């Protein structure tokens, strides 16, 4: 059995001076030092441990750690707090929390808030390390304070672009470079003025949201016109009711079956941090619509799958915690397959707008119980010289597993 001795140590930009004595002792006693070239370079030359920099793909070396640590003391060096969107979280997921010791340092996020005198509890931390600046979109609300962990020198310009495109060019943009190190530098500008300039490789971006851009809350029921769609979008009021029943929970997975433009899956992802979603549709064009909408609304990690249900559902792997069936319900087999796929405590919500589809929901209700609800709303719209009501009506079946 492997005897793992892995210590993950956070190191500041000021290097050896930032480490506590227990952390220094762990480094001195290590047989192998693993980390980024910058972090390893901060360790004094008289430390005799073998040094191994991270490969381009972090996960490759993480998978090797059990073998590397068999009978040897391994220290992994990471920037600041290793559990703040750092290598520590990846290692814990791979090895479990009983095999790893974490010795954190002051995080760059804490340093940024201290320099700006922003109370951390009032600031939203966002990781843009996946190189997609649109992840800041859900947080773009008046006077909101945000700190963004970026991916490299181009981060600031990309964030400034997103702010300008959405009408928030007046936002204050503070770039904090090499915090805690000898090269520390802070530059204050606006998104409108930043342009395409690059920053130092090691930096954070702080934002005070200002401007007259359209504000989109995280509450479900976004206006239909924020989506690119072909006219077959779930009405915003019905969407709000649907999300309330689906009940997004951090860490849980949603299948959006017959997703169309992806509105339900997207609002599931926006509603709670850490949620995951797969949008399934038989039409490639709809899948592309859903992906574009997910990027535009700040949740680019939406996974899209093209295929016909129920057969494609067997290929999705992990059991979902919630399923929404809004389209593609051509047979009772779709509902049956969805019901069998749900994880324990899962929620199934299905909508029917035709009598044929409604009969499938009625069958499900009679056989499996749950709740059957008729949802009816009407919108006042111009019709010639007068205003008329345009009704929208669906039947909703809700099933909750024990």
Per-residue pLDDT tens for 90-128? 888 888 878 899 999 999 999 999 999 999 999 999 999
For residue 390, is it within any domain? Answer: yes
74 and 121, same domain (yes or no): no
What mean pLDDT comes out for the span 87-91? 88
For residue 263, is it within any domain? Answer: yes
For residue 216, is it within any domain? Answer: no
For residue 33, is it within any domain? Answer: yes
148 and 262, same domain (yes or no): no
345 and 248, same domain (yes or no): yes
CB 292 within 8 A of CB 305: no
345 and 387, same domain (yes or no): yes
CB 253 within 8 A of CB 318: yes
pLDDT computed for residue 3 by the predictor: 56
Kindly tell me if the per-residue pLDDT of 175 is higher than 80. Answer: yes
Q: Which residues contact 2 (CB under 8 A, 6 or more apart)?
A: 66, 67, 69, 70
267 and 383, same domain (yes or no): yes
End-of-domain residue from the set 182, 208, 234: 208
Kindly tell me if the per-residue pLDDT of 329 is higher than 80. Answer: no
83 and 177, same domain (yes or no): no
198 and 231, same domain (yes or no): no
Segments forming the whole domain that contains residue 175? 109-208
Q: Is 240 exposed, middle or buried (0-12, 13-18, 19+ CB in 10 A)?
A: middle
Q: Among the listed ranges 15-19, 52-56, 66-70, 146-150, which one has the minimum average pLDDT value? A: 66-70
pLDDT computed for residue 60 by the predictor: 81
243 and 342, same domain (yes or no): yes
Residue 217's pLDDT band (cuts 50, 70, 90): very high
* Residue 281 or 58, more confident: 281
Percent of the chain with pLDDT over 70: 99
CB 294 within 8 A of CB 275: no
114 and 99, same domain (yes or no): no
- Domain CATH number, residue 64: 3.40.1010.10
Kindly tell me if the per-residue pLDDT of 214 is higher than 80. Answer: yes
End-of-domain residue from the set 58, 73, 106: 106
CB 71 within 8 A of CB 113: no
- Domain CATH number, residue 118: 3.30.950.10
Choose among 284, 293, 283, 333: nearest CA to 313.
Answer: 333
3-state secondary structure 138-206: HHCCCCCEEEEECCCCCHHHHHHHHHHHCCCCCCEEEEEECCCCCCCEEEEEEHHHHCCCCCCCCEEEE
For residue 257, is it within any domain? Answer: yes
CA 112 to chain centre: 22
- H helices of 49-145, in order, are 58-68, 87-95, 108-116
How many structural domains compose the chain?
3
Kindly tell me if the per-residue pLDDT of 378 is higher than 50. Answer: yes
Percent of the chain with pLDDT over 90: 79
Question: pTM here?
Answer: 0.91
266 and 365, same domain (yes or no): yes
266 and 357, same domain (yes or no): yes
287 and 251, same domain (yes or no): yes
And the tokens for 70? Answer: 């068999």
End-of-domain residue from the set 71, 106, 141: 106
CB 105 within 8 A of CB 18: yes
Kindly tell me if the per-residue pLDDT of 367 is higher than 80. Answer: yes
* Residue 186 or 71, more confident: 186
Kindly tell me if the per-residue pLDDT of 4 is higher than 80. Answer: no
Residue 1's pLDDT band (cuts 50, 70, 90): very low
For residue 218, is it within any domain? Answer: no
Kindly tell me if the per-residue pLDDT of 159 is higher than 80. Answer: yes
């Amino acid at each position: 059995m492997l005897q793992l001795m892995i210590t993950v140590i956070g190191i500041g930009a000021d290097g050896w001076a930032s480490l506590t004595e227990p952390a220094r002792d762990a480094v001195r006693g290590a047989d192998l030092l693993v980390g980024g070239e910058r972090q390893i370079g901060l360790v004094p030359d008289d430390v005799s441990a073998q040094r191994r920099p991270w490969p381009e793909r972090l996960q490759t070396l993480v998978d090797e750690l059990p073998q590397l640590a068999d009978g040897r003391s391994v220290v992994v060096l990471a920037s600041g707090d290793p559990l703040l969107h750092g290598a520590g979280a990846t290692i814990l997921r791979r090895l479990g929390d009983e095999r790893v010791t974490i010795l954190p340092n002051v995080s760059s996020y804490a340093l940024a808030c201290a320099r700006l005198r922003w109370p951390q509890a009032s600031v939203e931390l966002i990781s843009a390390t996946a190189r997609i600046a649109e992840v800041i979109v859900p947080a773009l609300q008046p006077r909101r304070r945000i700190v963004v962990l970026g991916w490299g020198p181009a981060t600031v310009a990309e964030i400034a672009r997103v702010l300008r495109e959405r009408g928030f060019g007046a936002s204050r943009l503070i770039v904090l470079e090499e915090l805690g190190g000898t090269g520390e530098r802070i530059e204050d500008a606006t998104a409108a003025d930043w342009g395409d300039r690059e920053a130092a490789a090691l930096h954070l971006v702080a934002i005070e949201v200002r401007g007259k851009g359209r504000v989109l809350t995280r509450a479900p029921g976004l206006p239909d016109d924020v989506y690119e769609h072909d006219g077959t979008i779930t009405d915003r009021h019905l969407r709000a009711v649907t999300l309330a029943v689906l009940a997004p929970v951090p860490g849980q997975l949603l299948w959006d079956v017959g997703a169309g433009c992806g509105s339900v899956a997207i609002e599931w992802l926006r509603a709670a941090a850490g949620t995951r979603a797969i949008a399934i549709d038989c039409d490639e064009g709809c899948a592309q619509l859903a992906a574009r909408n997910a990027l535009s609304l700040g949740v680019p990690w939406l996974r899209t799958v093209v295929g016909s249900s129920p057969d494609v559902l067997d290929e999705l792997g992990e059991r979902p915690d919630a399923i929404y069936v809004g389209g593609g319900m051509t047979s009772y087999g779709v509902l049956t397959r969805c019901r069998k796929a749900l994880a324990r405590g899962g929620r199934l919500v299905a909508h029917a707008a035709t009598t044929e589809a409604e009969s499938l929901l009625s069958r499900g209700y009679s056989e499996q119980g749950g709740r059957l609800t008729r949802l009816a709303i009407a919108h006042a719209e111009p019709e010639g010289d007068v205003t008329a009501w345009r009704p929208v009506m669906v039947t909703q079946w809700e099933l909750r597993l024990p």
